[in-house]
Amino acid sequence: MTFNQIVHQIHSKQSFLCVGLDPDRSLFPLHLQAKPDAIYLFNKEIIDATSPYAIAYKPNTAFYEAEGASGWQQLTQTIRYIRQYHPNILIIADAKRCDIGNTAHRYAKAFYQELNVDAVTLSPYMGMDAIDPFLSYKDKWSIVLAITSNDTASDFALQPLTNGKPLYQAVIQKCVSKGSKEQLMFVVGATRPQLLAEVRAMVPEHFLLVPGVGAQGGGVAEVAKYGMNRDCGLLVNVSRDIIYAGNGLDFAQTAGKKAEEIAQEMGRLLAATQFSI
Amino acid sequence: MTFNQIVHQIHSKQSFLCVGLDPDRSLFPLHLQAKPDAIYLFNKEIIDATSPYAIAYKPNTAFYEAEGASGWQQLTQTIRYIRQYHPNILIIADAKRCDIGNTAHRYAKAFYQELNVDAVTLSPYMGMDAIDPFLSYKDKWSIVLAITSNDTASDFALQPLTNGKPLYQAVIQKCVSKGSKEQLMFVVGATRPQLLAEVRAMVPEHFLLVPGVGAQGGGVAEVAKYGMNRDCGLLVNVSRDIIYAGNGLDFAQTAGKKAEEIAQEMGRLLAATQFSI
């Protein structure tokens, strides 16, 4: 999915919502919990209900791996389902993979070819060797961790290097020297909105994937204030607040309503900036 | 597997070899290549042939994920096979996972419970939130990336922070404040042996997992010189040089011979230090 296709979707849906598909069987509605393919069944309903408002879906691999090979199979089925019935929606594997050379190429194959997602999140600790193999897929997206939404992002990512600038800025700088706005995004947590502005100043044109809205405490309006650019340039992720909004037979309908609410706020924020294509 | 059990194995096998199980179907012997469960069949033979010399097996998840759900299934089978027939050998999932809170707990469940490995490698970019959930399993191992064997480890991990000390030292310092030598190891690449000495000075008692010997250029003797302590304290990983030593019908026997050669050198190095338990 290209940059322009993403911007077009944002325009037509008046939303920049990414729905996190983090399936936790223990939080599913009772009628699904015991089914062997509960994850897939849950995801299908959530996807159909939220698709009018979603620009992207972001399955987090941890939640699938926790169910072993069956979990990986249901991740595969989920991605196929989105591809088949909602082909305009970006699919991000939130995998935060981190490995080099030969191994990074294998991960790229696993995600871009086998699973056939559009984008994968990457952890930069090992340097550009861990990013370059993904950037070599020009028609896919690499989404590199810059500032995450958790408290201990301050342990390392926010630590200043000897030039006085924090590690995350070195990460961004290295990455933008290799990847254009057509293939590279950054993760910037919603919980530190002022830092969003600093990242936006460094990468005025790249998309930012913003977790940490909702359950983790960040607000959409603040994210838009500090991070939006003329292409919108934001994908704001919400997971639990949407997918576990209800847990009855009508859980998907409730999730859809919650997604709609959030998208309405996003639409107002987009309107206020006179975003157009 | 406890610290003392690992040291005991090193003593009885006179080896500190970790065999990397990075199965690449295109490098398999012809008679295996087309079989649907080729990875599992390949691993089984490699494991049986190398088990007299191996203290640990280290499957790298990328190589399994590249084959989708079937790859994950064969990873599961491989781990079960080691557990059943070689229960004294440590199993390390080289997964370099990196996520926080709820999600990190899911990864810990995926690896420690579902897959039932002893250890998992972790990338520290997101801070201690990404490590603590693994350390909460007191009978399992967390192996945190410090200095990796690739060139671009210098991009970030070797960069000095404002106190003049490189990032990897901050990582080690934070981690040892949370994890004892009974549950925490560090990855330190063999390609920078002098830095091994610096890490050893910081963590005199922790085990170090050392990749980068063989195909990547590091030597076992140098690693021992700079990294060995009175418990040995090293697990030196060799992957391709062993598992692809041959590619005929006798590939496993050839792999076994290569592992034996490496273990013999390790035995001499251990003897030279009068390592005993």
**Record: contact A161-B157, CB cut-off 8 A:** no
pLDDT over 70 at A215, yes or no = no
**B35, B44, B58, B96: which is the annotated catalytic residue?**
B96
CATH number for the domain harbouring residue B192: 3.20.20.70
Instruction: Taking the CA atoms of B37, B109, B233 and B230 in sequence, report the sign of the dihedral they define.
Output: negative
d(CA B229, CA B236): 14
Q: Do the domain assignments include residue A79?
A: yes
Q: Give the pLDDT band of residue A277 (cuts 50, 70, 90).
A: confident
Domain count along chain B: 1
Q: Which of A233, A182, A180 is nearest to A204 (CA)?
A: A233
Q: Do the domain assignments include residue A277?
A: no
Q: Do the domain assignments include residue A191?
A: yes
Q: Do the domain assignments include residue B277?
A: no
Phi/psi at A53 (5° precision) = -115, -10
Distance from the B124 Cα atom to the nearest Cα atom in chain A, whole angstroms: 7
Determine what percent of chain A is predicted with pLDDT higher than 90. Answer: 95
Low-confidence ranges of chain B (pLDDT < 50): none
A227-252 confidence digits (pLDDT tens): 999 999 999 999 999 999 999 999 99
Q: What is the average per-residue pLDDT within A165-183?
A: 97
A45-83 confidence digits (pLDDT tens): 999 999 999 999 999 999 999 999 999 999 999 999 999
Query: pTM to 2 decimals?
Result: 0.97
Q: Which residues contact A275 (CB under 8 A, 6 or more apart)?
A: A10, A11, A228, A230, A231, A232
pLDDT computed for residue A174 by the predictor: 97
Q: Do the domain assignments include residue B75?
A: yes
Residues of A in contact with B156 (CB under 8 A): 124-127, 167, 170-171
Distance from the A264 Cα atom to the nearest Cα atom in chain B, whole angstroms: 28
Distance from the A84 Cα atom to the nearest Cα atom in chain B, whole angstroms: 19
Q: Which of B39, B60, B103, B117 to mutate to test the interface with A (most CBs of A within 10 A)?
A: B103
Q: Do the domain assignments include residue A33?
A: yes
pLDDT over 70 at A162, yes or no = yes
B223-237 confidence digits (pLDDT tens): 999 999 999 999 999
pLDDT computed for residue A79 by the predictor: 98
Cα angle: A134, vertex A11, A135; to 5 degrees: 10
Q: Do the domain assignments include residue A134?
A: yes
Residues of B in contact with A22 (CB under 8 A): 102-103
The range of the structural domain enclosing residue A221 comes to: 3-272
Residue of B nearest to A73 (CA): B69
**Record: contact A60-B155, CB cut-off 8 A:** no
The verdict on whether B181 is a catalytic residue reads no
Q: Do the domain assignments include residue B82?
A: yes
